[in-house]
Amino acid sequence: MRVRRALLSVSDKRGVVELARALRELDVVLLSTGGTAAALTQAGLPVTQVSDFTGAPEILDGRVKTLHPRVHGGLLGRPIPAHEAEMAANGIEPIDLVVVNLYPFEATIAKDGVAFADAIENIDIGGPAMLRSAAKNHERVAVVVDPDDYAAVIAELKAGGGALSAPRRLQLARKVYAHTSAYDAAIAAYLTAIDDAAVAAPDASPARRAFPDTVGAQWQKLYDLRYGENPHQQAAFYADARSALPGWPPSRPTIASAEVLGGKQLSYNNILDLDAALGLALELRDCAAVVVKHNNPCGVALGATPAQAYERARAADPVSAFGGIVACNREVDGPLAALLAETFLECVVAPDYTDEARATLAAKKNLRLVRAIGDWTPRTGDAVATLRSVAGGVLVQTADTGLVDVRAAKVATKRAPSDGERDDLAFAWTVAKHVKSNAIVFAKGGVTLAIGAGQMSRVDSVKICELKAGAALAGSSVASDAFFPFRDGVDVLARAGATAVAQPGGSVRDEEVIAAADEHGLAMVFTGMRHFRH
């Protein structure tokens, strides 16, 4: 279908002048509105205002400008004799291409202190209506909602003598419905998160509940995976569609936004383990390395250099490190790359890699190098929700961004921890937050000695640590992600060689547990915060 008339009306004006110029070179008539028309006119391009095309002025502060039969008839008329005759009888000319993107509603409500009236004014009406009309009639009309598609559209128009193919029109229409559904979901989530009192104070910023009555989220497929957790399961990897919005607040580095620099495609399990490793590495301020296996850290360490941190982390559990995932919160340099090359690893994730490191690791053909782009600075309190599916529903909660300053935690025992023990307790506590419950972490000198994960009994988690590390646990500090319900957990810790313990407290038997710690000469602090991870 040859494009003869195009309507351009965009909030995000990236590339729209270049697109319009290419359309004019193909003798396409340009229709436009408001600010878009002004931008095209300023660029020296001939533009017909939509109000002149329809014969109806823009009214109500621009709320009504494209809601007109000459616009929607021009979009919805099919290339069949009956429609063509009816359009001609009503003076309706076909519109073959629509280029529209919407008022920035999500970017608006993401701003601090945005007034209710401003949020409402940024709900687009005419834009979604045109998008949906054009997308429905993709049999004849092409519709572009994403500026990133301009280059491909221009190239095909030039190659096809001003025409766009049916597959291209369908592809563009798919994008429209994904975009408008996400847009409406965002509006519904905002309106169901505020109280009715907002209407009485439209110039104020209404308080928003953490959990709206309606939760809408959309993910865009990045790629299909070879299989899921097991070869008989199918799987794909999707990214949060909001991350591509102009003006959307920058997020922390994620695996969804990361770049795979080398090696074969990530697997389902790789992605899960990379996410776990990255999450812990992002919470460690000092130079650190994390080794993850089956979604649990098996070795974590601080170091003066990335190489030293990784060497210590690997040594914490060298057997489990084989075939593991490594995260480093500093750039991977040559010395670290040389150490990484010594062991079979599935993936490495880091802020970046030096040329020397990439050259060294290029020899490891199956090793995936992942560069996680973004701000790696540790921070807490991000207003992020996490979703987890169950049969027939989804659980939504705020992300576990809380982290107690263990160095200042309440001392529950007669003996207070030493400065060195406090440092190790703080380190172990950070690691324990990322270990599956029931979680027990032994640490000393900025390195984990043993990690007990995912056991039904907290005592069994301690016993696993004792079995793995033995005498090396002497003089260590321990973090427990939840309270000790009985004194037996403390008795086992003391037997293993621990000298200090951090736990949330809050058990009905706290006094019994504290007494046991005093009997063994342990220092114990209560954090007042639990970190279950199921």
Just list the catalytic residues: 136, 294
SS3 32: strand
Nearest to residue 349, comparing CAs of 405, 433, 264, 292? 292
Q: How many CB atoms lie within 10 A of CB 152?
A: 14
Contact 479, 438 (CB under 8 A): no
Burial group, residue 431, by CB count within 10 angstroms (0-12, 13-18, 19+): buried
Contact 531, 481 (CB under 8 A): yes
CA distance 23 to 32: 13
CA distance 289 to 63: 55
Nearest to residue 350, comparing CAs of 295, 317, 309, 396? 309
DSSP string, 140-160: T-EEE--GGGHHHHHHHHHHT
Q: Which amino acid is at 78?
A: R
> Phi, psi (5° rounding) for residue 186?
-65, -40
DSSP string, 76-132: H--SSHHHHHHHHHTTPPP--EEEEE---HHHHHTSTT--HHHHHHT--SHHHHHHH
